[in-house]
Amino acid sequence: MDDVNNIGVIDLFCGIGGLSQGFASEGFSILSGYDNDKSCKFAFEKNNDAVFHAVDITEVDGNDLNEEYGQKLKILVGCAPCQPFSSYSFKVKQKDEKKINLLYSFSRLVQETNPTIVSMENVPQLMDFNKSTVFMDFYEKLKELGYYVSYEIVFCPDYGIPQRRRRLVLLASKLGEISLIPKTHNQEDYVTVRDVIADLPPVSAGEFNEKDPLHRARQLSELNLKRIQNTKEGEGWKTWPKELLLECFKKPSGHSYGSVYGRMKWDEPSPTMTTQCTGLGNGRFGHPEQDRAITLREAARFQTFPDKYQFYEDSKTYNPSIICRQIGNAVPPKLGEVIAKSIKEHLKEYQLWQEKGLQKNN
């Protein structure tokens, strides 16, 4: 394996470490992760062999990061919380200014640490958030600091990620032009729901597999059980008998809820995983044929977490709601891998990634 002793990666807004996991799988050394969600500490540290700092990014000083980097070539990556920029949040007039401003904290830390490589990942809406300048401010600051910058909207199935997630990915380098590696898949060979979860043993609503506590399906009420029993693969509530409809579905505005209570399709990628993706009424999260919503294990697989990834320490710390939120918030490790491969190819181009060690930079 390539010697990467002189490269260090720090992950801002790291969560349980999906992005870091992608970098680690490509041979990068993860120094640490920063996040204010203390519940992520175990999973991040256990799976990425790195230190977790439970702290608000706005309170982090660049000197702290520089001490961790030491003399290593610096790579700074992160995904600021995207809730203020999500499609749902566009309907909410009152925004959380603190979260909106987190990208400015990311920019400040870039200025204070002067990393060789920067990568930022977020929702596509960040680019046109009510014509906000937050993304362009970030972009322009990088240019001002001497970075070559590229960004694009990634459709995750194009890189073998089995969900219809779209993400904004930005890469910046002090060395020269940098961009993502070419797409690896097309519509004919997208990774599908069947590819990802068909091998898992069946479970019923409210039950779990004894060999895998994460393969647990949430309980359904009698009414919701009837609803999914009346839902065919790939369909939703629009095919139900009238007595099963929610009142909101009967109104003209109900058509805006087209994907809730839906079943996935076996031979297509899944919908985007969310923080409530194991709930039947929260999206098209019904199993293609079993009468239940997807399990935590299935959600983790759609997010491309390996089955060996440990999300909790023991039975006392096992909390399905927290784990679901953590999985939904995570950067898919496979997307992290794509970003890491792109950076690795860039470093090879500048002879900073070699078999016998790396030249020192900065």
Is residue 135 within 8 A of residue 126, CB to CB? The reply is yes
Active site residues: 82
Q: Which residues contact 234 (CB under 8 A, 6 or more apart)?
A: 262, 263, 264, 265, 268, 288
Backbone angles phi, psi at 49, to 5 degrees: 50, 50
Q: How far is CA 116 from CA 32, 129, 279, in A?
A: 17, 28, 42
CA distance 251 to 261: 17
Is residue 149 within 8 A of residue 135, CB to CB? The reply is no
CA distance 230 to 44: 40
CA distance 57 to 109: 9
What 92-95 contacts at long range (C-beta under 8 Å, 24+ apart), as own/partner pairs, is none
Residue 261 corresponds to which tokens in the numbers above? Answer: 């209570």
